[in-house]
Structure 1
Amino acid sequence: MNQLHNAFTLFMSLLVEAMPFLLLGVLFSSLLLLFVDERQLLAKLPRHPLLGAFIGSSIGFLFPVCECGNVPVARRLLMQGVPSSVAIGFLLAAPTVNPIVIWSTWSAFRDRPEMVVLRVVFSLAIATIIGWVFSAQEDLKPILQPSVVRAIPKAAPKREKAAIASDSPLLQSGTFLLGEPGKPMRLDTATLPPVESATAAPPKGWMGKLPLKYPIDARRWRLFVDNTMAELRELGGVLVLGSAIAAIVQVAVPREIILSLGQGPVTSILAMLVLATVVSICSTVDAFFALSFASTFTTGSLLAFLVFGPMIDLKAIGLMLWIFKPKPIAYILILAAQLTFFLTLAYNLKIA
């Protein structure tokens, strides 16, 4: 009974800690959906796979979201047709490469500033490499969930290698909405009639629920709220499941087993990789958790926890399943784990 109580307490703490950041990510996602013109977004993103992966990893600095909030933003980027290297780079790096996490890491390790620098550098490097690897997958349909594939606007073939054709749907309106039955719907004057047409027949589908007497800007904000609520319901359910699994694992596995492995340059990293996966602490506060192990674990293993945890943990895996099929998630997990292990092991051996 005591273990059950502890598991419930951990579950609630994870959920309360993560939900605000998930909401923040959903808000950014809805802003991209309704207020960002894909034509300008796509025009400014680099087409080179490696450069695109690096830019995608870096723009997390503009979106201060953790590993819960980055998933809906990355999903929206893919729905808007951005290159896979950009979206995956953002997905993996945004939880670490943002001002909030950098500030919290500095607060925890004031006497060890190299921890802050190496955390950002390693995260950027790993996210860029993985995004670059996934850029080889030109057709994303085999690795994406069907709901995401249906929402991606159809563009000209090989648009990442050539200019976008003038008849591309992306050039016919500013943005797309997910209509019924799960197909993209253009948000333009045909979808949002002008105020003067208030006497006309209401549009079909869920758009018809919007009062036509509202100004276009007000109805656009109403759509923003509706989309935010819809995505929060979808991703919130997955977050609840991931938090429950993480809480059960933390209670079932004795922490002493992991702590006993903390002194070896290799075993300490492996232990921290496992701990980062199962503990699932938000990236905005995980530096303080890692600080509690500073006296018993190697510096490289602490870096492994701070770099790998925000990319891959049980909550993040559960949320990624809303974007990708299980096989590509396994590839991302293996690549991230290997790159984190080799980089942090090199650091351990250097300072040994």
Structure 2
Amino acid sequence: MDWTQLNSAFTLFLSLLVEAVPFLLLGVLFSGLLQFFVDERKLVQLMPRDAFLGALAGSCMGFLFPVCECGNVPVARRLIMRGVPSSVAIGFLLAAPTINPIVFWATWTAFRDQPEMVFLRIGCSLIIATTIGWVFSAQKDLRPFLQPAVAKAMPSKKGTRNGGQASQATSGPSALLQSGTYFLGQSDQRVDPMDFQAAAIAAAGKPTGYKLNLMLEGMVQEFRELGGVLVFGSAIAAMLQVFVSREAILALGQGPISSILAMMLLAAVVSICSTVDSFFALAFSSTFTTGSLLSFLVFGPMIDLKGIGLLLSIFKPRAVFYLIALAAQMTFLFAFVVNLYFS
């Protein structure tokens, strides 16, 4: 290790940050606006009850509500607690971090010389999320797969919670479309913009200025959370590019199978936000196969170490294992086919 290598790594690190930060800020802004100015109850009424169409609709909801993988889990959890069909909630859970205009724009900017990568990413993510949502719809009652607190909060067929209390779905303002943490309504002591229920109740009937102030506080907290992940991921990308032997990277990155497995593992471990992960993947475009880059862009937003902890706030470990296994197998299959035809 010498100063030249350190300087090169730092330069690459800064270039990744400069390209990615504007997209992260834009995604956080959308998330904040949706928290306080959109009512999800009307959206829930529009969701189709057919399993396949519901999974497809849920997968496409990200185009309307661009939340990254830091926000899709709490939103999906709220959908389930509202009684939305499982196919819709799971389709949204897996697709929203990728199927949204912010990620589309970011991927297009990063891979402007490889436009096919943008459409492959969107198409594969949509197919995988819709298929898995459809598969899970075979479980008519999702409660055995859910954590007890979530299952208890779901409405019964008579419109009451499992605990016997009347549903409060019609009282209070919308609290669904917010991203950040997954602690839903746990604090009634203070107004925390990252707390679904408290922030929504506090904003009810308040002037626009008050809502904007809460939105700004939430944006600052969320950007601080996601910005730390971005810095960490950018540092890893820079260090790998400079300090890892190029021969070793080439040997790993050119194999049609090994390259896919390596990038899927990297996507899960690094856990970069979907609004900026395309810039991370771009750093490997000269050494890894097209299919392996695609696997990183598709699998990472669905399954990563950070997201697994959040998934366990909704599902029991068995269900999380099913989600991971299905997503991994389908991602590998698509990536392998792309390697055969694009490499």
Fold shared, TM-score > 0.5 on shorter chain: yes
Q: Distance in 1 between matches of 2:250 and 2:78?
A: 40
Shift of 1:23: 6.6
> Paired residue for 2:98?
96
Q: 1:218 aligns with which of 200, 203, 206?
A: 206
> Paired residue for 1:132?
134
Q: How do 1:179-198 and structure 2 match up within 5 A?
A: none
> Paired residue for 1:337?
328
Q: Distance in 2 between matches of 1:107 and 1:229?
A: 29
Q: How do 1:62-77 and structure 2 match up within 5 A?
A: 62-77=64-79
Aligned pair in 2 of structure 1 residues 80, 275: CA closer, same or farther (>3 Å)? same
In 1, are the aligned partners of 2:58 and 2:92 still within 8 Å (CA)? yes
Q: Distance in 2 between matches of 1:283 and 1:268?
A: 20
Q: How do 1:42-191 and structure 2 match up within 5 A?
A: 42-150=44-152, 152-156=153-157, 169=167, 173=171
TM-score, structure 2 normalization: 0.69
In 1, are the aligned partners of 2:81 and 2:155 still within 8 Å (CA)? no
Shift of 1:47: 0.4
Aligned pair in 2 of structure 1 residues 323, 25: CA closer, same or farther (>3 Å)? farther
Q: Distance in 2 between matches of 1:240 and 1:108?
A: 19
In 2, are the aligned partners of 1:57 and 1:94 still within 8 Å (CA)? yes
In 1, are the aligned partners of 2:40 and 2:174 still within 8 Å (CA)? no
Aligned pair in 2 of structure 1 residues 258, 324: CA closer, same or farther (>3 Å)? farther
Of stretches 336-345 and 324-333 in structure 1, the one that deviates more from structure 2 is: 324-333
Gap runs ≥5 in structure 2: 1-8, 161-165, 176-183, 189-197
Tell me if 1:36 matches 2:24: no
Q: Distance in 2 between matches of 1:259 and 1:157?
A: 60
Shift of 1:82: 1.0
Q: 1:263 aligns with which of 241, 254, 262?
A: 254
Mark the structure with the bigger radius of gyration.
Answer: 1
Aligned pair in 2 of structure 1 residues 263, 273: CA closer, same or farther (>3 Å)? same
The code of the aligned residue for 2:76 comes to A
Secondary structure of residue in 2 paired with 1:260: helix
In 2, are the aligned partners of 1:85 and 1:135 still within 8 Å (CA)? yes
Q: Distance in 1 between matches of 2:290 and 2:335?
A: 8
In 2, are the aligned partners of 1:30 and 1:228 still within 8 Å (CA)? no
Aligned pair in 2 of structure 1 residues 149, 292: CA closer, same or farther (>3 Å)? same
Tell me if 1:279 matches 2:270: yes
Superposition RMSD on alpha carbons, in Å?
Answer: 4.4
Q: Distance in 1 between matches of 2:187 and 2:285?
A: 52
In 2, are the aligned partners of 1:96 and 1:120 still within 8 Å (CA)? yes
Tell me if 1:303 matches 2:294: yes
TM-score, structure 1 normalization: 0.68
Aligned pair in 2 of structure 1 residues 229, 325: CA closer, same or farther (>3 Å)? farther
Q: What percent of counterpart residues are identical?
A: 52
Secondary structure of residue in 2 paired with 1:142: helix
In 2, are the aligned partners of 1:24 and 1:69 still within 8 Å (CA)? no
Deviations 1:154-213 (A, max 9, x none): 231799xxxxxxxx847865769877999xxxxxxxxxxxxxxxxxxxxxxx9xx98xxx
Deviations 1:43-79 (A, max 9, x none): 2100011110111010101112211122222122122
Q: Distance in 2 between matches of 1:71 and 1:26?
A: 13
Q: Distance in 1 between matches of 2:92 and 2:138?
A: 17
Q: How do 1:232-251 and structure 2 match up within 5 A?
A: none
Aligned pair in 2 of structure 1 residues 179, 291: CA closer, same or farther (>3 Å)? closer
The code of the aligned residue for 1:82 comes to V
Q: Distance in 2 between matches of 1:148 and 1:36?
A: 21
In 1, are the aligned partners of 2:24 and 2:276 still within 8 Å (CA)? no
Deviations 1:212-243 (A, max 9, x none): xx9x612999899999999x99x99x999999
Gap runs ≥5 in structure 1: 1-5, 160-167, 183-205
Shift of 1:22: 9.6
Aligned pair in 2 of structure 1 residues 328, 225: CA closer, same or farther (>3 Å)? farther
The code of the aligned residue for 1:337 comes to A
The code of the aligned residue for 2:324 comes to L
